[in-house]
Chains A and B, each alone.
Chain A
Amino acid sequence: MRSLKKSAFLAPLALVGSVVVVGLFVFGPTSAQAASNTSVTASTRPAPTTTSPNLFTSGSTSTTRPSGYTVPTPRSTTSTTIPGVTTLGGSQPYVAPTGTPGLAYLNLPAAFLKPGQALFAANCATCHGNQAEGSSRAPNLQGLGSGTVDFWVSTGRMPLENDAVQATRKPPKFNQLQTLQMAAWVQSLTPGVGTQIPVVNTSKANLSNGQQYFTLNCAACHTITGAGDALANGAYAPTLHLAKPYQVVEAIRSGPGNMPRFGSGNITNAQARDIAAYVVGVLQHPANPGGYALGGVGPVGEGFVGLLIGVGTLMLICFWIGDRT
Chain B
Amino acid sequence: MIDETIDKSLNWVDDRLGTAKSGKTFLDKIFPDHWSFMLGEIALYSFVVLLATGVFLTLYYVPSSHDVIYNGSYIPLRGQHVSEAYSSSVALSFDVKSGLLMRQAHHWAADIFLGAMAVHMGRIVLTGAFRKPRELNFLIGVTMLMLGIVNGFLGYSLPDDLVSGTGIRIAYSIIESVPLVGSYLAFWLFGGNFPGDGSIIPRFFIIHVLIVPLIILGLLGAHLGLLVKQKHTQFKGPHRTEKNVVGTPMFPTFMAKTTGFLFMSTAVTFLLAGFAQINPFWQFGPYHPYQISYAVQPDWYMGWLDGALRIMPSWEWVGYGHTWPLEVFLPAVLFPGIIFNIFYAWPFLEARITKNRDYHNLLDSPRDRPKHTGAVVAMMALMLMVFLASSTDVLANFFNVPLQDTLWFFRFAVPIVPVIAGWLAYKICEELRHEDGAGKRKRASVVLRTEAGEYESIPSEPRPGDDHHELEPIEIPAFIDLVGADLATGEGVRRVLR
Q: Could you list which residues of chain A lie within 8 angstroms of chain B, going by C-beta atoms?
A: 1-2, 54-62, 64-66, 75, 206-208, 210-212, 215-216, 219-225, 227-234, 236-237, 278, 281-282, 286-294, 296-300, 302-307, 309-311, 313-315, 317-325
CA distance A302 to B298 in the complex (A): 10
**Shortest distance between the CB of B300 and any CB in chain A (Å):** 3
Query: Are the CB atoms of B285 and A211 closer together than 8 Å?
Result: yes
CA distance A298 to B115 in the complex (A): 17
Residues of A within 8 A of B34 (CB): 322-325
Residues of B within 8 A of A291 (CB): 104, 273-277
Known: A310-B111, A318-B38. 15 other contacts (CB 8 A): A207-B75, A208-B77, A230-B397, A230-B402, A230-B406, A234-B402, A290-B93, A291-B104, A291-B276, A300-B394, A314-B112, A317-B264, A318-B39, A320-B35, A322-B36
Query: Are the CB atoms of B294 and A208 closer together than 8 Å?
Result: no
Query: Are the CB atoms of B264 and A208 closer together than 8 Å?
Result: no
Closest residue of chain B to A3 (Cβ to Cβ) is B482
Query: Are the CB atoms of A310 and B269 closer together than 8 Å?
Result: yes
Residues of A within 8 A of B393 (CB): 229-230
Query: Are the CB atoms of A298 and B268 closer together than 8 Å?
Result: no
Q: Which interface residue of B96, B100, B269 has the most chain A CB atoms within 10 A? A: B100
- Pick from B35, B277, B403: contact of A319, CB under 8 Å: B35
Residues of A within 8 A of B285 (CB): 211-212, 215, 224
**Shortest distance between the CB of B25 and any CB in chain A (Å):** 23
Chain B window 82-109, contacts with chain A (Cβ cutoff 8 Å), 1 for yes, 0 for no: 0000000001011111001000100010
Contact of A293 with B297 at beta-carbon distance under 8 Å, contacts A60-B71, A208-B76 already known: no
Interface size on B, residues (CB 8 A): 84
Query: Are the CB atoms of A303 and B299 closer together than 8 Å?
Result: yes
Query: Are the CB atoms of B265 and A314 closer together than 8 Å?
Result: yes
Closest residue of chain B to A316 (Cβ to Cβ) is B35
B401 at the interface (CB under 8 A from A): yes
Query: Are the CB atoms of B396 and A62 closer together than 8 Å?
Result: no
B194 at the interface (CB under 8 A from A): no
Contact of A300 with B297 at beta-carbon distance under 8 Å, contacts A60-B71, A322-B33 already known: yes
- Pick from A61, A232, A300, A303: contact of B111, CB under 8 Å: A303
Chain B window 237-277, contacts with chain A (Cβ cutoff 8 Å), 1 for yes, 0 for no: 10000000000000000000100110011001100111111
**Shortest distance between the CB of B83 and any CB in chain A (Å):** 15
Residues of B within 8 A of A54 (CB): 75
Residues of B within 8 A of A222 (CB): 294
B425 at the interface (CB under 8 A from A): no
CA distance A288 to B278 in the complex (A): 10
Could you write out 27 A-B pairs with CB less than 8 Å apart? A56-B73, A60-B73, A211-B77, A220-B293, A224-B293, A229-B393, A229-B394, A231-B403, A232-B404, A233-B402, A288-B280, A298-B296, A299-B297, A299-B300, A299-B303, A303-B299, A303-B300, A307-B300, A310-B111, A311-B115, A314-B42, A315-B39, A318-B35, A318-B36, A321-B38, A322-B35, A323-B32
Query: Are the CB atoms of A237 and B75 closer together than 8 Å?
Result: no
Q: Could you list which residues of chain B lie within 8 angstroms of chain A, going by C-beta atoms?
A: 32-39, 41-42, 71-80, 91, 93-97, 100, 104, 108, 111-112, 115-116, 119, 162-163, 237, 257, 260-261, 264-265, 268-269, 272-280, 282-285, 288, 290-300, 303, 391, 393-394, 396-397, 400-404, 406, 468, 483-484
Query: Are the CB atoms of B269 and A237 closer together than 8 Å?
Result: no
CA distance A232 to B257 in the complex (A): 53
Query: Are the CB atoms of A223 and B293 closer together than 8 Å?
Result: yes
**Shortest distance between the CB of B400 and any CB in chain A (Å):** 8
CA distance A236 to B292 in the complex (A): 17
**Shortest distance between the CB of A41 and any CB in chain B (Å):** 19
Query: Are the CB atoms of B79 and A321 closer together than 8 Å?
Result: no
Query: Are the CB atoms of B294 and A306 closer together than 8 Å?
Result: no
CA distance A64 to B97 in the complex (A): 6
Residues of B within 8 A of A287 (CB): 74, 280, 282-283
Query: Are the CB atoms of A297 and B295 closer together than 8 Å?
Result: yes
Residues of B within 8 A of A66 (CB): 94, 100
Closest residue of chain A to B291 (Cβ to Cβ) is A215
CA distance A70 to B91 in the complex (A): 17
Residues of B within 8 A of A215 (CB): 162, 285, 288, 291, 293
**Shortest distance between the CB of B297 and any CB in chain A (Å):** 5
CA distance A236 to B397 in the complex (A): 7
- Pick from A65, A237, A310: contact of B112, CB under 8 Å: A310
Query: Are the CB atoms of B295 and A227 closer together than 8 Å?
Result: yes
Residues of A within 8 A of B73 (CB): 56-60, 62, 65
**Shortest distance between the CB of A12 and any CB in chain B (Å):** 23
Q: Which interface residue of A228, A237, A299, A300 has the most chain B CB atoms within 10 A? A: A299
